[in-house]
Chain A
Amino acid sequence: MGTLILNATLQTAVGSRMAMTETVKASNPAGTAHATGDVRSTGTAMAIEDVTLRYGDVNGVLALDDVSLKVAKNEFCVIVGPSGCGKSSLLYLAAGLNDATSGVIKVDGREVIEPGPDRGMVFQSYTLFPWLTVRANIEYGPKRKGLPAEQRRQIVDQYLNEVGLAPFADHYPAQLSGGMKQRVAIARALANDPAVLLMDEPFGALDSQTRGTMQKLLLRVWERQQKTVLFVTHDIDEALVLGDRVLVMTARPGKIKAEIKVDIPRPRSMDVILEPDFIALKRRILGLLHDEIDEDH
């Protein structure tokens, strides 16, 4: 019985995804793409269902219009879109830092009503606690959870090594470079062992070389730790280098326009951006985004 239901789900998932990879507007007259999770994986880590966000009253700006998507367990899902398309707003809703006007977001089947350590978030701005050392920053979450000191030390050491910052354990954030700060921020979020790691253009403020290093580091950590990631960016290269799946968002009101499966084998090197498969995918996303800009003007 269980197998039957699972098969049915898989079939719908495959079906809808095939539709999605075609031009979405034709297959979905309502313009609402219901992006589905990776079919290979065992379950859904996060489900965003018919989420609408309107600022102010009924006549206010419509930031997100009926957005639905699923992120599978251990999937690296990237949302790419023009600035102001509401992709960051969507992440804030998923984190529970803001309330949707309508719709539901579920993480591990539980509805999101407020922020919590099961949805770790890395922000574009530097948000390390400046009064705490690198070690104490990473330890902050486990401490809130009330874990014993010995266990906290183990967790901190593990993630310090994971992001390669063990020699800087006793430094204060002000003594670190921008890239190092974001590495600590990633370690700090992972130390809580979150069900989903939300990343809001975390490398947006870094120079392009540091960004490349950070992407490589993030991929390595993600491959080792087996985490579910929902990553927001406006950088198409970054989206394709990192993601299993890229969701393209439209602007004003924010909607998911297309879903693109990134079939580039892992582990991926940074040279992947020169390969024909990569360039073909990039051309498609650029096309989708250009349509948007043309429609605007």
Chain B
Amino acid sequence: MAQRRTAWTRLTTPFANIPASTATTLALAMWVVVIGGWALLSYGRVVPNMFLPTPGTVLETTYRMSLDGSLFYHTLTSAKVVILGFIVSSVIAVPLGLWMGTYRAVQAPLEPLVNFIRYLPVTSFVPLFILWIGIGIEQRIAVIFFGTFFQQLVMISDCARGVSRDLVNASYTLGTKRSEAVWHVIFPAALPTILDTLRVTMGWAWTYLVVAELVAASSGLGYISLKAMRGFQVDVIFMAIAAIGLLGLITDTAFRIIRARVAPWAP
């Protein structure tokens, strides 16, 4: 009789499943390594604390700034900028992207233009936005919008284009009119991949936050890190980075939940 597979064989087999407990242990171990390495470097003074704060200092700063409400205030401002920019972008990109993916006549004029714009660095537009829009929250929202919209448009149009032709053909033989196909077939069929696109681009929107708050902001997580840089408060920068990462994790999870609710039929 063949010998049963050892745990090691299973771990090293391509695409093989591993027990949930093993997966959790591996995930936790990763964090232990990262934070442990950080603790070693900072507490052991391998890197001066001026450049690398200890985990303890960062926790202390987080506690202090939570107590006086400033962490909450700056987080809220940043979240508002990112979420508003993301919503404005998505509200236009989803229907336009659907059209672009469905109708060659919409794709033909838009695609070359969009592909040109989406490779332009967002940072290069910040001075322009300040001149045009001013230094209010609208300017920051514009940066987030500019960073996500054109990427979303291309990806969502691909989602629509990926819908099976036979699915659309079948709908025609069931009485769907040409003008109804986008709404009745292509949109619901593409919905799971559209939601995946939104989830991924939401992550990108967060990465533009610091760029958006680089100039002319007076609050926000990006703003406090820039201010902290000038005062060598590395612990504040660490806290702000961790906060952005956590917010990203929360919105990502939110999108996974929404997708499971809206499209329970999709794998």
A interface, CB within 8 angstroms of B: 92, 95-97, 114-117, 119-121, 123, 125, 127, 129-131, 140-141, 144-145, 172-174, 185, 188-189, 192, 198
Question: In the bound complex, do residue A127 and residue B265 qualify as a contact, i.e. CB atoms below 8 Å apart?
Answer: no
**Contacts A129-B185, A140-B171 known; 4 new A-B pairs at CB < 8 A:** A129-B188, A141-B175, A173-B265, A174-B265
Which residues B153-176 have CB closer than 8 A to chain A? 164, 166-167, 169-176
Task: Indicate whether B189 reaches chain A with its CB closer than 8 angstroms.
Answer: yes
Q: How far is the CA of A130 from the CA of B166 in the complex (A)?
A: 13
B169, B170, B171: residue with the most chain A Cβ atoms closer than 10 Å: B170
Determine how close the nearest CB of chain A comes to the CB of B75; give it in whole angstroms: 36
Does A119 lie within 8 Å of B173, measured CB to CB?
yes
Is the CB–CB distance between A140 and B173 below 8 Å?
Answer: no
B170 touches which of A114, A127, A172, A173 (Cβ 8 Å): A127
**Pairwise interchain contact A141-B174, C-beta atoms closer than 8 A:** yes
The docked-state distance in angstroms from the alpha carbon of A92 to that of B172 is: 12
Measured CA separation A188–B174 after assembly (Å)? 8
Contact with A along B180-198 (1 / 0, CB 8 A): 1000010011010000000
Question: CB-CB < 8 A to A120: which residues of B?
Answer: 173-174
Q: Are B188 and A127 in contact (CB under 8 A)?
A: no
B263 at the interface (CB under 8 A from A): yes
Q: Indicate if the CB atoms of A131 and B164 lie closer than 8 Å.
A: no
- Distance between B175 CB and nearest chain A CB, rounded to angstroms: 4
CA distance A297 to B60 in the complex (A): 83
* Cβ of B176 to closest chain A Cβ, rounded Å: 6
What are 11 A-to-B residue pairs whose CB atoms are below 8 Å?
A92-B169, A95-B169, A97-B172, A125-B166, A127-B169, A131-B266, A141-B175, A144-B176, A173-B265, A185-B170, A192-B175
Given the contacts A117-B174, A120-B173, A129 and B166 also touching, CB distance less than 8 Å: no
Top 8 nearest A-B pairs by Cβ distance? Answer: A117-B175, A115-B172, A127-B170, A144-B175, A121-B173, A141-B174, A172-B265, A131-B188
List chain B positions with a Cβ less than 8 A from chain A: 164, 166-167, 169-176, 180, 185, 188-189, 191, 263-267
A162 to chain B, nearest CB (A): 17
* Closest Cβ–Cβ distance, residue A154 to chain B (whole Å): 18
Are A97's CB and B174's CB within 8 A? no
**B residues less than 8 Å from A95 (CB atoms):** 169, 172-173
Chain B residues contacting A97 (CB-CB under 8 Å) are: 169, 172-173
The reply to whether B173 and A129 contact each other, CB–CB distance below 8 Å, is no
- Would B175 and A129 count as touching, CB distance under 8 A? no
Q: Which residues of B contact A172 (CB under 8 A)?
A: 264-265
Contact status B164-A140, CB under 8 Å: no
Report Cα–Cα, A173/B191, bound state, in Å. Answer: 16
Q: How far is the CA of A2 from the CA of B40 in the complex (A)?
A: 102
Q: Which residue from A117, A130, A140, A185 sits with its C-beta under 8 Å from B266?
A: A130
Q: Which one of B164, B266, B267 lies within 8 Å of A125 (CB-CB)?
A: B164
Contact B166 A123 (CB under 8 A): yes
**B266 neighbours in A (Cβ, 8 Å):** 130-131, 174
Closest-by-CB residue of B relative to A175 is B265
Min CB–CB distance B217 → chain A (angstroms):
42
| A125 nearest in chain B by CB position | B166
**Shortest beta-carbon distance from B188 to chain A in Å:** 5
A121, B172: Cα distance in complex, Å: 9
B contact residues around A189 at 8 Å (CB): 173-174
Asked if B173 and A115 make an inter-chain contact with CB atoms under 8 angstroms apart, the answer reads yes
Closest CB-CB distance, A137 to chain B, in whole Å?
Answer: 9
- Scoring B173, B189, B191 by chain A CB atoms within 10 A of each residue's CB, the highest score goes to B173
The 8 Å CB contact of B173, one of A116, A145, A173, is A116
In the complex, chain B residues whose CB is within 8 Å of the CB of A174: 265-267
Could you say which residues of chain B place their CB within 8 Å of the CB of A185? 170
Assess whether B265 is in contact with A140, with CB atoms less than 8 Å apart: no
Partner of B189, one of A116, A119, A125, A129: A129
Chain B CB within 10 A, most for which of A97, A185, A198: A97
Distance of A263 Cα from B188 Cα, bound (Å): 47
Smallest CB gap from B169: residue in A:
A97
CB neighbours of A123 from chain B (8 A) = 166, 169-170
Evaluate whether A131 and B189 lie within 8 angstroms (CB atoms) in the complex, with A115-B169, A123-B169 already known.
yes
Residues of B contacting A119 with CB < 8 Å? 173
Q: Which of B170, B171, B265 contacts A131 (CB 8 A)?
A: B265
- B265: chain A residues at CB < 8 Å are 130-131, 172-174
